[in-house]
Amino acid sequence: MKLNEKIVIITGASSGIGKAMAIEFASRGANLVLAARQYVALCELTESLIKQYNIQAVAVQCDVSVEEDCEQLIKQSLLTFGKIDILVNNAGISMRALFKDADLKVLKTVMDVNFWGTVYCTKYALPHILKTKGSIVGISSIAGYKGLPGRIGYSASKFAVNGFLDSLRIENLKTGVHIMTACPGFTASNIRNTALAKDGSQQGESSLDEEKIMTAEEVAKRIADGIENRSRTLIMTTQGKLTVLLSKFFPAWLDKLVYDNFAKEKGALLK
């Protein structure tokens, strides 16, 4: 399925992987519905894509943790374009705190955005994607296959997303709808800078060397290729593939490897 002239909804489209996907999809001729909370940045991006790629695009202010916003996003997409071919559930937020220190509101916020945002948007989009036999994509993480220390709410939300998409895929095995779970590794974006600390404030600084990890542009290209190829799962790094493999066959050993790795990060929470 080529992206040319397809109607694509991307949540969390104002920055990071979402913005990179908007640019990549537009370069392949897709018409876009771009959703995010940052409406000014979203409008600027939308305008530039229309001019540069001669596509149709619309910006919709949307907080995916609010069900009514997600319903309105789908309604606006249909009002503008009359159909939906692809939904990319990309909006996400991270956290960095040990469970013993974290305020429970932090975990709830992360779950509301990452899991419930995916559920809400998919619920309202699915009847229309069934008509086009299109695609539903969830941007998950290796943290959805292996729990990561200090990211307990993030891991929990991504495990939930993976389970949701797996179930949805089986329910739609004979409907023609394509369900894809995309799992980037650590990606250069602002998600770690905006990650929630133990009290719910923004972390403000990444604990990783951003220059040594995958770019958002590379992730966007692989996701676009995955949609066109109707791939089932994308695990984008060797480290991620190894993590999934080790979790199946050597889980206790992997626990130690993960602990040792995170104990070495900048400003480590583990000692």
Question: Which residues are the active-site residues?
Answer: 154
Q: Is residue 120 a contact partner of residue 165, using CB atoms and an 8 Å limit?
A: no
| Measured CA distances, 111 to 1, 77, 138, 144, 236 (Å) | 32, 25, 14, 13, 23
Q: How far apart are CA 113 and CA 93, in angstroms?
A: 7
10 Å Cβ neighbour count for 216? Answer: 22
Contacts of 104 (CB under 8 A, 6+ apart): none
DSSP state of 212: G
* Alpha helices, H only, the chain: 16-27, 39-53, 67-81, 104-111, 117-132, 152-171, 216-229, 238-249, 251-262
Six-digit token string for 61: 């202010």
